[in-house]
Amino acid sequence: MTLSRTELVTLMQARGLRPSRALGQNFVVDANTVRRIARLAQIGPGDQVLEIGAGLGSLSLALAETGASVQALEIDRHLIEPLREIVEPRGVAVHHADALLADYDEILGARETVVVANLPYNVATPVVLHLLETRPEVARMLVMVQKEAGDRLAAHAGDEAYGAVSLRVQYYADAAVVGKVPASVFVPRPHVDSALVSIVRRATVRVDPSLVSEDELFSVIRTAFGQRRKMLRRSLGEWSTEGVFERAGVAETRRPEELTIEEFAALAAAR
């Protein structure tokens, strides 16, 4: 069971609800899409799932169908009562909370967790990074975000969308775009298509902190991408020291978007 377009629209009209532009709400109303997301999340009985932005429960119901234990977060107080009526009979626990401020110790109970989320554009990156940086029990994520944000989260050196956010994700995890979602499956219909991004936490961070600290690494990354189109000798002009490019084995004529995280680490270590 999931919510169809007609059912969701009827429910919202009956409750006097409207999607919130301020919260970037676009509700999924296609059964095939939500079940595809649940399948790509590779979840089942025994798994704990954290759904962020449950809305009116269409995806929540598809996640519950897998047999997983679902903890659903929703920030919109107007949706909490109807959401609970729809999904709690299916075993989904609903939490009225902001994903950036939620008490995850209480919600997750330190259990290994898979995050599945339909994230609005304005919070997609902060939420993903917050979970990677602060919640080690989150082993995997499958997030649906606007295509531009998805490309940025999963980008590698040389990709047009590659930047400091991509490197932040790479430090903690392996990310890839695993699917596309058309605008037609949402109410209201957004102006752009969406992407499904798989993020799998690494057993250890990608750069050994004993060689280069996290602060040192991301200091050079932020500085470089402050002028991403310029050569390193310009973008890192004030940051660099005499001979740093030679010691790192990185040509000063290259641009930030061409460097891997390992090459940024070499620069930070050579300073």
Name the CATH superfamily, with its identifier, for domain 5-201.
Answer: Vaccinia Virus protein VP39 (3.40.50.150)
* N-terminal to C-terminal alpha carbon distance within the chain: 58
Q: What's the pLDDT tens digit per position in 184-228?
A: 999 888 889 999 999 999 999 999 999 999 999 999 999 999 998
Give the pLDDT band (50/70/90) at residue 231: very high
Alpha helices of the chain — where are they, by DSSP H?
Answer: 5-15, 31-40, 58-65, 77-87, 104-108, 121-134, 147-154, 164-172, 214-225, 232-235, 244-248, 261-270
Higher pLDDT, 50 or 2: 50
Q: What is the mean pLDDT of the chain?
A: 94
Fold of 214-270: Helicase, Ruva Protein; domain 3 (1.10.8)
Banded model confidence at residue 36, pLDDT cuts 50, 70, 90: very high
Q: Which CA distances in Å does 188 have to 105, 125, 191, 194? A: 34, 22, 10, 14
Alpha-carbon separation of residue 91 from 36, 62, 107 (angstroms): 20, 12, 15
Domain with CATH 1.10.8.100 in the chain: 214-270
Give the separation between CA 71 and CA 48, rounded to whole angstroms: 8
